[in-house]
Chains A and B, each alone.
Chain A
Amino acid sequence: MQAKKRYLLVSVGACSLLLAYLCGLQIGEFHNQNHAELYGVSQDAGVPPRPPRWPEWVDPPPQTYLGEAEQEEDGPLLLHQHTSPRERREIQKNIYKSRRCRMETCFDFQRCERGFKIYVYPSQKGEVPSESYQKILAAIEESRFYTTDPNEACLFVLSIDTLDRDQLSAQYVHNIRARIQSLPLWYEGRNHLIFNLYSGTWPDYTEELGFDIGQAMLAKASTDMDNFRPRFDVSIPLFSKDHPQKGGSKGYLNLNNVPPLRKYLLVFKGKRYLTGIGSETRNALYHIHNGDDIILLTTCKHGKDWEKHKDARCDRDNEEYTKFDYQELLHNSSFCLVPRGRRLGSFRFLEALQAACIPVLLSNGWELPFSEVIDWSKAAIIGDERLLLQVPSITRSVGSDRILALRQQTQFLWDAYFSSVTKIVLTTLEIIHDRIQTHMSRSRLMWNSLPGGLYALPEFSSDLTLFPFYYSALGKSPSQEFTAVIQAVTPLQSQQQPIFKLIHAVAKSKFCAQILVLWNCEKPPPPRNKWPSITTPFSIIEGKRKTMSGRFFPHQAIITDAVLSLDEDSVLSTNEVDFAFIVWQSFPDRIVGYPARSHYWDSGKGRWGYTSKWTNEYSMVLTGAAFYHRYYHHLYTYYLPTSLLSMVDQLANCEDILMNFLISAVTKLPPIKVTQKKQYKETMMQQGSKASRWADPDHFAQRQSCMNSFTSWFGFMPLLHSQLRLDPVLFKDQVSILRKKYRDIERL
C-alpha cells in the first residue's frame, strides 16, 4: 500500500509538473510576443528576419497618384481661373464671419498700415469697471501701442467691462448689446478686442457672453477648443482681482535642487462639485490619492446647499482636507494637478506655475493660455481626463533631467508672460501684433526661450543670430568686432582734448571695426581733417534730436553686434578696451563696463538710493565707457515708453541708469565690471571741468529720483548686485610683466 501511495504521489507530481510546464510554455510565449512587439526588434540571430507585413507585390502598382491632370492643376479648363483671387477673397469674407472668423476675413489690415496702435473708448460717466478691467485698461494705456486718436488706431478696446459675463455675478454689466451697437466705430466688431474671464453660468457654463461680438476678437480665459477661432482669438489665463498691475512677484524657485524630486509627487487641494459639469474628474481624484506622496484633497463644502448633494465620501474628504495647508503642498510638490473646474481654466494653473510646481493638466478641450505661441509641453504635463488613473505612473516616469527643465521653464514663463496683468495684456497684444506683420513676427524660439517674447522685438531683425540671446541655442557666437560710439557734446578746440586721445586709443584696438562720433553739440561738426587721422573707418553722425536718449539710437551705421559706448571725456587705453571686449564676448547679453555704481534701499526714506561711493558691490556700470549688444539700442529706443525717455532728455541725465535697468530687467543678471587703469570720472570731477555734468550738485539728486521713477514704471527693481570684478588672468600677479598680455592696465 505504501508503495502504491508513493507511486500515486510521484505520478500526480509528474502530471502537475507537466501541466506547469505547459502553462509556463504558454506564458513564456506570451511574454516573448510582448517583448518583440514592444521593442519592435527583429528576432534573435538564427531566425530569419520577419517578412514585410504589407505584401511585397509581384506587380507593384505602377501608376502614381498624381495624374497628368493634377500636374496641370486640373486640366486645360483651368476652372479656377474664372474667379479672380480678389473676388475669391471677397466671397470668403462674406462666408467666414462671426464664429468662423479668421484674420484674413474679419480683420481690416488697412487700419494697421500706420502701425499697431490701440484706442480705448472713453469710459462712460459714473461707470466704474471692475478692478481687473481697470488694470487691463491701464496696461494698454501705458503701453507703447496706445493712442488717443481713433483715426490712427488699428485695434479698439471697449471701456465697457466685459470680464465677467456670468449672469449670477455682481459684476455682470447689463445692456451691453445695445451699448456696443451704438459705438460709432463698432463696424460689426471689426478690429475690436474683447476681454473676458468668465462666461456662461450655472448649470452648464457655456461660453455664452450674452451679446453678439460680431467680428471682434476675443481674449478669453478658459476657452474651449470648440469655440476658439484659431489665430484669431487669444486664450488668456484666468487671473484673480488681486493679480498685480505691474512687476509682479517672482517665481518661487531660487535655486535648482538636485535631485529635483520634492517631498510630494503630486498634489491638489480644491473643491469638489459632486454634480454637474466638470464634476467627474474631481470626484474621481480619490482613486489616485495615496496619502503618501500623492495628496489629492477635495472638499464638498461650497455654495449654500452642498449638504443636499453630499455623498458618502464627503465627511472623510472634508476632514482630510483641513489637515494640509495649500501653500505648504504647493511648495513641496514636484507636480500639481490642475483639473478643470466648472470652467476649463482655474486659478490653480497660475498658482502652480509661480510655485514651480509642474502643472499636470486635466482639462480636456481647454485651449491653453497663449497656446498660439507658448509651447506648453516644455513646462507642463498635458494629461487626459479620461486617463486619470494613469497620472501617477506618468508623473513617476518623468526623469530628473526633464523635471529640472520643466520646472525652470515654469519660472521663465511665469515671469515672462503671467506674473502681472500688464504682462498678460502685453502678451495678448504682441500675439495680435505678430499676426499683423507676419513676415516680421516672433519665431517660436523667441517666445519659448529667455528672455521671452516681450523683450525680443521682431522689428529689430528676422535673423535670430543678430539678437544677443540665442547664440548658444543656435550654435553661433557674436561677431569678433565692435563699433565705438562716442558721444560728443563740446566743440573741438585743441588737439589736447580728451576725445583725441580716446579716438587714438580705441582705433588701435584690433577689434575695432569703426568709430562713430555722435555729434550732439550745437555747433556744426568740424570737417574730417580736423579729426585725428586713423585708418579705422570713422564717421560723424549728427543727431537729429540732440538729446540724451539719442546716444542709444539704433543708427543704421552700427553693423557689429558689439557697441562700445563712450563719453568724449572717457579715458581708456587700448589694453582696457581689448580686454573688456574679450570679456563681453563671453557675456554678450550683458553690459560690460568700467566704473560702477550701486543702488540700495533707503529704509529711512522708504525709497531707492543711489551711490557713487566705492563699495564692495555694484549694480550698474556707467555707459560713458561700456560694451553691450547693439540690440539694446533698439530696445531702449522702441521698448521704453516716451515718458521715461523724455524724462531722461529733460534732465539730460540718467540715460545710463535707464540702460542698466533695461538690461538687468531683460537678463535678470547684474552688469559686469572689468578692471580699469585709472579712476575714471572721479578724476574728471576733481578737475572741476565745467563741461562735466558730473560737477552739477543737482546731478546726484536727479539720479536718485530717476531710480525711483524707473522702478515704478518697471513695477519692480530690476537691478541686481555683483561682488566681483573681472580682471586679466595675470592681473597684478608676481610674474614678469613681459608674460602679461594686458600690461597697460597695471601701469600707473
Chain B
Amino acid sequence: MCAAVKYGSRGPALIPRMKTKHRIYYITLFSVVLLGLIATGMFQFWPHSIESSAEWSLDRRSVHDAPLVRIPMSSPIPERGDLSCRMHTCFDVYRCGYNPKNKIKVYIYPLQRFVDEVGVPISSTGLSREYNDLLSAISDSDFYTDDVSRACLFIPSIDVLNQNSLRIRENAQALAMLPRWDKGMNHLLFNMLPGGPPDYNTALDVPRDRALLAGGGFSTWTYRQGYDVSIPVYSPFSAEVDLPERQPGPRRYFILSSQTVIHREYRVELERLKEENGEALLLLDKCSNLSQGLASVRKRCYKGQVYDYPQILQESSFCVVLRGARLGQATLSDVLQAGCVPVIMADSYILPFSEVLDWKRASVVIPEEKLPEMYTILKSIPHRQVEEMQRQARWFWEAYFSSMNAIGMTTLQIINDRIYPYAARTYEEWNNPPVVKWTSVNSPLFLPLIPPRSPGFTAVVLTYDRIESLFRVITEISKVPSLAKLLVVWNNQNKSPPEESLWPKVAVPLKVLRTKENKLSNRFFPFDEIETEAVLAIDDDIIMLTSDELQFGYEVWREFPDRLVGYPGRLHLWDHEMGKWKYESEWTNEVSMVLTGAAFYHKYFNYLYTYKMPGDIKNWVDAHMNCEDIAMNFLVANITGKAPIKVTPRKKFKCPECTAIDGLSLDQTHMVERSECINKFASVFATMPLKVVEHRADPVLYKDDFPEKLKSFPNIGSL
C-alpha cells in the first residue's frame, strides 16, 4: 500500500509546471489514498470470511476423516504419573496468567486416529459418545480457546474414559506424541472406569507423566488431593430415562439395593438384614430370564417379580451403593437421579467432586465393615433430615451429574477455582440448592459484636427550609452524650443555609452539606463526613425525642448493630380483600418497620442503599418523594433476615413520615401511596422480606417502681 502512495508522492515531479493544479493533485492523492483504504479493508476482512466459512464446512466432518497417526514401536512412553504432584509442583501456572475474568483457557487437540505400526487402533472403541459430548460441551463453553499458545489447560482428544477398551502402552505413547505434551504439564485426562482385572487399580493405568487426572473411582491412595479431580461414573442408560423429581418424603421402602453384582458376602449380609427388617428392605437382582442388552439394564427382579429400573429407585428413602471391583459405581448417579439418599459403602473411596461438594448433606457413608449396622444407623436419622437429603441428592444430580456437559463443566470449574482461589465459588454456591439459595440469609454483618460506645454516632439531619424547627432539633440532639458529629443535609437548592453565626452553638462538629438535587435518597448517601459506624437519621421536625431516648437508642443499636433501631414503628399487613399488601400506622401490637425520620443504623446500609438497591427502587423513591424509609426497611430486612427494633413508647409524632408532603399527613392518599410502595418493593424484591415482631426495647427499669434518679435513662416516654 505504501508503495502506491509513494508513487503518488511523485506527483509533483510529474507535473512540475502546473502551478495551479493543486486541486488536481489533491484529488489524485485523495483517490489514491481512498483506493488504498478500500484495498486494505478488503485485505483485512476478505480472508476472514473465507476462513470462517471454511471452518463451518469443515465442521460437518466425519469421524473417519480424522487424520491417521501411526505410532512407532520405539515411541517414548511417559512416566507412570507422579504421586507427589501438586498444583504448585506439576502445574505451570504461568500459562494461565492473570486476567480480570479469572477464567482459565482450555484447548482441545483435534481428533486423530492413532494406530500402531501394523495399523491396529490403540483403542477398541475409539471416540465414545460420552467423550465426544464432553469435548463438544467444553468447546461450547467460556473456557474454550482454539489458540494453543494461549491455553492454560490442554485436553487430548484421545478417549480414555474406559480403561478396558484401551491398549495401555500405545495410548501412553499417543499422549507423549501430542505436540504440547511437555511431560504432561497442564494436560487433563478424563477417565471413569480405571484399572482392570484382577486387582483393579483405582486410577487410570495409562502412564501419563504429570497430567492431571479427572477420574471416577479414586481411592485415597491414588488421589492426589488438590491436583486430581474425582468425577462421577456417568450412567448413560439412566440419563436417557426421564425421571421427574419427586417431592421429598417417606417412601414405600426404607432401603433398596439394586446393584446386580454385589460380592456374595455382602449379599448374604443384606439378606440377613432383610430377614430382620422385612418389608422395609427391597433386595433386587438381575432378572435371570431376560436376555442381555438394554432390557436387562432396565429391569431388576426379586423372587420372580420384575421391577423397572431406574424408576424403582424412586420408591425408596435410601439406596445402597456398594463398591464392586471398582470403587466408583454408575449406580450412584442413578440413585441421585431418583432422589434416593445413597448409602455409600466403599472404604477409602474419594466421592465425586468431594473437593467442593459436601456429601454429608446428600448421602450416608458407612464403612464396609459396618454393613450389618446399616439399618440401625439409617433409622437414627431424623425424618426431616432424610427429606433434606433427598432434595439435596436430586440437586447434586441435576447440577453436577446429569450430563457429560455438567461433569465437564464442574471439573473445569474446580480446576479454575484452584488457579484463581481468590475468585473461587463458595461453599454455599456449590452446595445450596436453589430453594435454599432463595430462602437462606447470610448477613454481611454476621459476627456478633457489641461495638464500643466511644466512637459515638453521627446525626444526619435532612432539611429543606424549616430553619426554626431544624435549629430546635440540633439543640436537642446536641445534648446527647454519645453524639460525635452533626451533619445537616441541605436539600433546598433555591435557598442558601443560614449564616454560620446564626446556627445554634453545639459542642460537636457541625457541617452543612448542600445537595445538587432535592432527592430523598440524599439522606442515605454515604458521605465521607460520616466517620462513625453508627448513623442517626433524623428529620428536621423531630423535636420531641429527649436526649435520654436518643442515647438509649444508641445503646440499643450497639447491641443490635446489624439492625435498624428506630422510634416510630409501622406495620405491613396482607389485605385479603384486595389481595395485596397494606401499610398500617395505627396503634398496633406488631412492628415490621421503623421510620427513618428517627432511626439508628450502621453506615454500611448507606452504601447498600446508594449502590446496591435492587431494581429501580431508588429512582422510584426520588421521583415520588416518598417511601425512602420503607425502601430502607426492605433492604435491611432482606439482607439480614432480621426485624428492626423499635425503641421506647409511642409518642405523638407530628407525622414524621410526611415531611415531603407537609400537612397531608392524615390524608388517605398518603396511606394509599405508602401501601403502593410496599407492593411495588415486594415485587422488585420478588419476596416480602419484612419480619413482624411484637416487641420493642425499653430501658431495663422502665416504669419499674424504682427511684427515677437511679435509672440510667429516666426521661423516657414523656410527652
A residues neighboring B (CB under 8 Å) = 3-4, 7-8, 10-12, 14-15, 17-19, 21-22, 25, 29, 37-40, 51-74, 77-82, 84-86, 89, 92, 96, 100, 102, 104, 109, 225-226, 230-231, 253-259, 364-365, 375, 377-378, 381-387, 390, 393-394, 397-398, 400-401, 404-405, 408, 411-412, 438-439, 441, 443-445, 448, 450, 461-466, 472-476, 579, 582-583, 586, 596, 614-618, 667-670, 673-675, 720, 722-735, 739-742
Q: Please pick, from A54, A412, A673, the residue contacting B700 in the complex, using a CB distance under 8 A.
A: A673
CB distance from A151 to the nearest CB of B (A): 23
Q: Are B61 and A55 in contact (CB under 8 A)?
A: yes
Measured in the bound complex, the distance between the Cα atoms of B6 and A15 in whole Å is 8
Q: Please pick, from A8, A109, A253, A723, the residue contacting B12 in the complex, using a CB distance under 8 A.
A: A8
Q: A15-B5, A64-B236 are in contact. Are A74 and B197 (CB under 8 A)?
A: yes
Q: A79-B198, A729-B591 are in contact. Are A586 and B695 (CB under 8 A)?
A: yes
Kindly report which residue of chain A lies nearest to residue B126, judged by CB atoms: A61
B607 located at the interface, meaning its Cβ lies under 8 Å from any Cβ of chain A in the complex:
yes
Q: Are A61 and B132 in contact (CB under 8 A)?
A: yes
B94 located at the interface, meaning its Cβ lies under 8 Å from any Cβ of chain A in the complex:
yes
Given contacts A441-B360, A462-B385, 20 further A-B contacts (CB under 8 A): A11-B9, A53-B146, A64-B128, A64-B130, A65-B129, A67-B165, A74-B325, A256-B604, A377-B426, A383-B421, A390-B98, A443-B361, A444-B358, A444-B427, A463-B384, A616-B699, A723-B700, A730-B589, A739-B587, A739-B589
Interface 0/1 of B1-16, CB less than 8 Å to A: 1100110110110001
10 A-B pairs whose Cβ atoms sit less than 8 Å apart in the complex: A7-B12, A15-B2, A54-B108, A56-B59, A68-B293, A231-B220, A256-B533, A259-B607, A724-B556, A724-B700
CB-CB < 8 A to A102: which residues of B? 220-221, 348
CB distance from A619 to the nearest CB of B (A): 11
Measured in the bound complex, the distance between the Cα atoms of B324 and A81 in whole Å is 9
Measured in the bound complex, the distance between the Cα atoms of B607 and A58 in whole Å is 56
Kindly report which residue of chain A lies nearest to residue B421, judged by CB atoms: A382
Q: Are A80 and B55 in contact (CB under 8 A)?
A: no
Q: Are A405 and B88 in contact (CB under 8 A)?
A: no
Interface 0/1 of B633-658, CB less than 8 Å to A: 00000000111001101100000000
Measured in the bound complex, the distance between the Cα atoms of B714 and A616 in whole Å is 11
CB-CB < 8 A to A730: which residues of B? 587-589, 650
Kindly report which residue of chain A lies nearest to residue B702, judged by CB atoms: A725
Interface 0/1 of B494-523, CB less than 8 Å to A: 000000000000000000000000000000
Q: Which B303-328 residues sit within 8 Å CB-CB of chain A?
A: 324-326
Q: Are B128 and A443 in contact (CB under 8 A)?
A: no
Q: Are A253 and B696 in contact (CB under 8 A)?
A: no
Measured in the bound complex, the distance between the Cα atoms of B695 and A579 in whole Å is 8
Measured in the bound complex, the distance between the Cα atoms of B591 and A614 in whole Å is 29
Q: Are A58 and B533 in contact (CB under 8 A)?
A: no
Measured in the bound complex, the distance between the Cα atoms of B87 and A259 in whole Å is 35
Q: Which B666-719 residues sit within 8 Å CB-CB of chain A?
A: 691, 693-704, 706, 710-713, 717, 719
Q: A21-B37, A61-B127 are in contact. Are A100 and B221 (CB under 8 A)?
A: yes
Q: Are A104 and B61 in contact (CB under 8 A)?
A: no
Q: Please pick, from A39, A104, A445, A450, the residue contacting B347 in the complex, using a CB distance under 8 A.
A: A104
Interface 0/1 of B412-446, CB less than 8 Å to A: 00000000011010110000000110111111111
B200 located at the interface, meaning its Cβ lies under 8 Å from any Cβ of chain A in the complex:
yes
Q: A51-B55, A258-B602, A393-B98 are in contact. Are A387 and B93 (CB under 8 A)?
A: yes
Interface residue count on the B side (C-beta < 8 Å): 181
B569 located at the interface, meaning its Cβ lies under 8 Å from any Cβ of chain A in the complex:
yes
B579 located at the interface, meaning its Cβ lies under 8 Å from any Cβ of chain A in the complex:
no
Q: A79-B198, A258-B533 are in contact. Are A56 and B60 (CB under 8 A)?
A: yes
B547 located at the interface, meaning its Cβ lies under 8 Å from any Cβ of chain A in the complex:
no
Q: Of A65, A674, A729, which is in contact with the most chain B CB atoms at under 10 Å from its CB?
A: A65
Q: Are A463 and B382 in contact (CB under 8 A)?
A: yes
Q: Please pick, from A11, A408, A616, the residue contacting B446 in the complex, using a CB distance under 8 A.
A: A408
Q: A55-B59, A255-B533, A394-B422 are in contact. Are A727 and B9 (CB under 8 A)?
A: no
Q: Are A448 and B61 in contact (CB under 8 A)?
A: no
B593 located at the interface, meaning its Cβ lies under 8 Å from any Cβ of chain A in the complex:
no
Kindly report which residue of chain A lies nearest to residue B127, judged by CB atoms: A61
Q: A8-B12, A104-B348, A615-B700 are in contact. Are A73 and B649 (CB under 8 A)?
A: no
Measured in the bound complex, the distance between the Cα atoms of B712 and A614 in whole Å is 12
Q: Please pick, from A18, A55, A57, the residue contacting B36 in the complex, using a CB distance under 8 A.
A: A18
CB-CB < 8 A to B64: which residues of A? 59
CB-CB < 8 A to B711: which residues of A? 616
Q: Are A614 and B704 in contact (CB under 8 A)?
A: yes
Q: A63-B125, A726-B695, A733-B649 are in contact. Are A57 and B140 (CB under 8 A)?
A: no
Q: Are B58 and A66 in contact (CB under 8 A)?
A: no
Q: Are A253 and B449 in contact (CB under 8 A)?
A: yes
Measured in the bound complex, the distance between the Cα atoms of B541 and A228 in whole Å is 67
B225 located at the interface, meaning its Cβ lies under 8 Å from any Cβ of chain A in the complex:
yes
Q: Please pick, from B266, B451, B590, B647, the residue contacting A254 in the complex, using a CB distance under 8 A.
A: B451
B241 located at the interface, meaning its Cβ lies under 8 Å from any Cβ of chain A in the complex:
no
Measured in the bound complex, the distance between the Cα atoms of B60 and A87 in whole Å is 54
Q: A256-B533, A439-B365 are in contact. Are A72 and B129 (CB under 8 A)?
A: no
Measured in the bound complex, the distance between the Cα atoms of B147 and A401 in whole Å is 36
CB distance from A627 to the nearest CB of B (A): 13
CB-CB < 8 A to A57: which residues of B? 61-63, 132
Measured in the bound complex, the distance between the Cα atoms of B603 and A181 in whole Å is 63
CB-CB < 8 A to A398: which residues of B? 422
7 closest residue pairs by CB, A with B:
A475-B439, A11-B9, A40-B142, A463-B385, A255-B451, A54-B139, A80-B325
Q: Are A258 and B700 in contact (CB under 8 A)?
A: no
Q: A18-B36, A59-B62, A463-B382 are in contact. Are A586 and B607 (CB under 8 A)?
A: no
Measured in the bound complex, the distance between the Cα atoms of B589 and A438 in whole Å is 48
Q: Are B260 and A72 in contact (CB under 8 A)?
A: yes
CB distance from A736 to the nearest CB of B (A): 9
Q: Are B86 and A439 in contact (CB under 8 A)?
A: no
CB-CB < 8 A to A734: which residues of B? 719
CB-CB < 8 A to A8: which residues of B? 9, 12
CB-CB < 8 A to A109: which residues of B? 367, 369
Q: Are B694 and A438 in contact (CB under 8 A)?
A: no
B192 located at the interface, meaning its Cβ lies under 8 Å from any Cβ of chain A in the complex:
yes
B56 located at the interface, meaning its Cβ lies under 8 Å from any Cβ of chain A in the complex:
yes
Q: A8-B12, A54-B138 are in contact. Are A67 and B649 (CB under 8 A)?
A: no
Q: Please pick, from A255, A364, A390, the residue contacting B88 in the complex, using a CB distance under 8 A.
A: A364
Q: Are A7 and B426 in contact (CB under 8 A)?
A: no
Q: Are B88 and A385 in contact (CB under 8 A)?
A: yes
Kindly report which residue of chain A lies nearest to residue B130, judged by CB atoms: A65
CB-CB < 8 A to A10: which residues of B? 26, 29
Q: A19-B2, A230-B225, A257-B533 are in contact. Are A55 and B111 (CB under 8 A)?
A: yes
Q: Please pick, from B164, B221, B265, the residue contacting A84 in the complex, using a CB distance under 8 A.
A: B265
CB-CB < 8 A to B427: which residues of A? 375, 378, 444-445, 448
Measured in the bound complex, the distance between the Cα atoms of B266 and A89 in whole Å is 14
Kindly report which residue of chain B lies nearest to residue A96, judged by CB atoms: B221
Q: A19-B2, A258-B602, A465-B388 are in contact. Are A475 and B440 (CB under 8 A)?
A: yes
CB-CB < 8 A to A73: which residues of B? 260-261, 324-326
Q: A53-B139, A730-B650 are in contact. Are A7 and B25 (CB under 8 A)?
A: yes
Q: A67-B125, A724-B559 are in contact. Are A439 and B111 (CB under 8 A)?
A: no
CB-CB < 8 A to A253: which residues of B? 447, 449
Kindly report which residue of chain B lies nearest to residue A407, judged by CB atoms: B447
Q: Please pick, from A3, A400, A615, A675, the residue contacting B22 in the complex, using a CB distance under 8 A.
A: A3
Q: Are A3 and B111 in contact (CB under 8 A)?
A: no
Measured in the bound complex, the distance between the Cα atoms of B533 and A85 in whole Å is 63
CB distance from B143 to the nearest CB of A (A): 8
Measured in the bound complex, the distance between the Cα atoms of B441 and A60 in whole Å is 46
CB-CB < 8 A to B135: which residues of A? 54
Q: Are A723 and B555 in contact (CB under 8 A)?
A: yes
Q: A54-B108, A405-B444, A617-B700 are in contact. Are A61 and B361 (CB under 8 A)?
A: no
Measured in the bound complex, the distance between the Cα atoms of B702 and A674 in whole Å is 12
